[in-house]
Amino acid sequence: MKPEKNIDEILDRYITSATTEDVESHCDQVFQQLQSRAQDAAPHAKPARHMNWLRIGMVAAAAAILFAVLLGVSSRAGAPAVLESENSRRIEYGETVRANDATGSTLVLADKSRIEMRSGSELSLERADDGVRIRLNKGDVIVSAAKQHGHLYVQTNDVMVSVVGTVFLVKAEAEGSRVAVIEGEVRVQQQGANETKLRPGEQVMSKPIMEWQPVSEEISWSHSAPTHLALLQQSTTSIGVAPQPREAFDVVSIRQSAVVAGGGGRGPGGGVRRRNPRPAGEPCGSPSEPVVDPRRFDASETTVHALIAWAYGLDCMNWRGSDLLFGGPGWLKDDGFEVQAVMPDGSPSYNADQLRSHDAPKLQMMLKAMLADRFKLVMHHEMKEMPVYELTLAKGGPKLTVRPEAKKVDPPLPPGTPRYGEIPTVGLSIWKEGDDACCPGWGPTDLGAKKQTMADLARILSGQIGRPVLDRTGLTGEYNYYLRFAFVEIPGTPGKAPLPDAPLRPWERPPDPRTIFTALEEEFGLRLESTKEKVEVWVIDRVERPSEN
Amino acid sequence: MSIASVPRANEPVAAEFEEIFREHSRMVYRTAFTITGNHPDADDVLQNIFLTLLEREFPLDFRTSARAYLYRAAVNMSLKVIRSRKRRRLADGVELLEAPPPLTEANPDEETRRSLREAIARLKPRAVEILILRYEHGYSDAEIAKMLGKSRGTVAVTLYRARAKLKKLLRVHSGGNDEA
């Protein structure tokens, strides 16, 4: 032992820990001992080995209390499940279990069936005539059902799944339920419908509005995703299940951009007019890309990184790309591609804003299919601990104004200054019917938007300060806001702070001397707190340059 | 300490006690085992804490934060167990017969664990609380601060001092001057 070297290491390695099995069995033993002591009654109590733990003065009333209590405890001692992620805490029938951790939770039933709960899910256990029923109130679970004597059921609002010895996913969404099978066979009973049998790779949705998603994608949040995927592949191959229909473009054309990002606008072809030039080193490209109309997706000089971000609903931070996408070669962020694709007849109408705000599900699925087909993209989900900021309420809560204009007036512009549109005023206010819904904007000294949620603000702040920002304000609703602060050197940008005595352009006002952190707290009543947290990220396992058209 | 209502042998009390035992007994047991290093003592600590809870009124600070209360009780009672064990060893040779069997010197890992336990037992109870929450239960500074109602700064400083003292105590031990 060399304590002078690393006391942390010694503590980590040599602190005395009981095994989970020991803890379980000794806690049970203590129950038993307490029970038998109570039955023997206090006058006959025998002192314990070291401590006089049945106190001499313990009166009959206390023994009666103990007896009553322990009878109650022992009658329910056979708990139907334990929560593995909370030191094997026992879960009783009727108890609501919530997976509040970012990493989710795992419930183990008495028959060794395992229920992996995605973060945010909620369920309870009920007795069934011939087994156990899991009532899934919301969220996703992957059930690995043991080959048991009785049945295991999963019940949502609108479907009942019954199984023996299978692995499957159940998802209770707002619009309905989804069941997908990884291994074995499950029977799904929907309200007012015949029973459906599902085999590996198959899935059923309770409402027609719900869209088909690849099972592999649906289970990617699981800690055991690689195992489940291998099982799924093996199961579907062995029984020859045909892949289910998926959303895909009718026609796709992909070719490498003829110009280099950040170049002068004339590529090797000479005289090429670039639609929306992509600055060098910026993976997200121009905010005017892509062009989306009801049947056409057209992205110019776009990177594969940006395509993945659009397809998988990740925020592509201006200047640096997505903070939640890892792996893959450097060309994913550097090389530009001209991508044109035509959506099938009858596809929903989307626009580029919807795609950028991850609200174009069918188009996103078509992009995913294109990335898989043409770029051979394979990715997986995992939890990664990373530095983040939490956006929280400062002491005193949010500083809301009825309208920003009512509270503060920014330093006035010099007399005679021409006005270039509306000049925003610093403040945070609740968006109301009749207000504009407009144009989130941000730069190195200010940010502002109208009709935005706190999650939207967190995304914008993330772009400003170079780390994921998690909305922990608890504030719902939509807001208008504008904030000014001292120059922020946005990570990944070449921008430098202006010289203090640099002359202001006509539309500029003197910079605010406060940091973005201080300004946010003083003006909005919000705090940014640095911490580390496990966050769901995507990792690229495989990608290739696109195949020929 | 303020006193809340006295428990009675009725269904609500039984249900409440059951809930408390189910939720916290494992944490209490792990804590006790980490400090005492043996199962019989950890069993005693667990029993004693829950009997005390039944025998006496539920203190108000228990009702406001059962987890923190029980955790503190587990640390304090475990320290009391090993300190009283040491006193008994000195005062009464007969008690040695009931003490846990000595660990074999042939196992250096076990020897290190024993030395570490003895060093931890010499820290102040508040330092032990924080140290075990960090290294046995895996809580962050912020989580410890929240659970024990302290500031993060206090937690960080206490941990720093506790580690420094442990380092010193272990160095003394490894030098053959075991004071524990």
Give the closest of A2, A31, A89 to B23, CB-based: A89
State whether A99 and A218 are in the same domain.
yes
Instruction: Tell me if A410 is assigned to some domain.
Output: yes
State whether A297 and A222 are in the same domain.
no
Residue owning tokens 């008495």: A110
Instruction: Tell me if A546 is assigned to some domain.
Output: no
Q: Which residues of chain B have pLDDT under 70?
A: 1-16, 55-61, 63-64, 86-107, 172-180
State whether A235 and A256 are in the same domain.
no
B8-14, long-range: CB < 8 A, 24+ apart: B8/A65, B9/A61, B9/A64, B9/A65, B9/A67, B9/A68, B9/A69, B10/A68, B11/A72, B13/A65, B13/A68, B13/A69, B14/A68, B14/A69, B14/A71, B14/A72, B14/A73
Residue A404 confidence (pLDDT): 44
Residue B125, min C-alpha distance to chain A (Å) = 16
**B118, B110 Cβ separation under 8 angstroms:** no
State whether A184 and A312 are in the same domain.
no
Rounded to whole angstroms, how far apart are CA atoms A381 and A143?
18
A-chain residue closest to B46, CA distance = A30
State whether A22 and A67 are in the same domain.
yes
Structural domain B105-180, CATH architecture: Orthogonal Bundle (1.10)
Question: Domain range spanning residue A455?
Answer: 388-536
For residue A207, give the CATH number of its domain. 2.60.120.1440
State whether A201 and A226 are in the same domain.
yes
Residue A514 confidence (pLDDT): 86
Q: Say what the pTM is.
A: 0.45
Question: Which residues 82-121 of A have a C-beta within 8 angstroms of B?
Answer: 87-90, 92
Whether the link from the prior residue into A290 is cis, omega within 30° of 0, is: yes
Cβ–Cβ gap B109/A61 under 8 Å: no
pLDDT tens-digit map of B120-148: 988 998 899 999 998 888 888 888 888 88
State whether A363 and A459 are in the same domain.
no
Cβ–Cβ gap A65/B170 under 8 Å: no
State whether A97 and A225 are in the same domain.
yes
Q: What's the ipTM?
A: 0.79
State whether A423 and A516 are in the same domain.
yes
In CATH, the number for domain B1-101 is 1.10.1740
Q: How many domains does chain A have?
A: 4
Residue B28 confidence (pLDDT): 93
Q: What is the mean pLDDT of each run of 10 residues along chain A (549 residues)?
A: 66 84 83 61 37 37 49 46 78 83 81 86 83 88 77 85 82 85 83 72 75 78 82 64 65 83 47 68 79 87 92 81 88 90 87 82 88 87 84 86 48 48 72 68 75 85 83 84 77 52 58 85 91 84 84
Question: Which amino acid appears at position A140 of this protein?
Answer: D
Cβ–Cβ gap A22/B98 under 8 Å: no
State whether A54 and A128 are in the same domain.
no
Domain ranges of chain B: 1-101, 105-180
State whether A479 and A453 are in the same domain.
yes
Q: Which residues of B touch A71 (CB under 8 A)?
A: 14
Tokens for A357? 């705000």
**A159, A179 Cβ separation under 8 angstroms:** yes
Question: Which amino acid appears at position A409 of this protein?
Answer: V
Instruction: Tell me if A382 is assigned to some domain.
Output: no
Rounded to whole angstroms, how far apart are CA atoms A179 and A157?
13
Instruction: Tell me if A549 is assigned to some domain.
Output: no
A531 touching B (Cβ < 8 Å): yes
Q: Which residues of B touch A72 (CB under 8 A)?
A: 11, 14-15, 18
Instruction: Tell me if A335 is assigned to some domain.
Output: yes
Q: For residue A144, which of A251, A241, A201, A227 has the smallest C-alpha distance?
A: A227
Residue B153, number of CB atoms within 10 A of its CB: 10
Rounded to whole angstroms, how far apart are CA atoms B70 and B19?
13
Question: Which amino acid appears at position A337 of this protein?
Answer: F
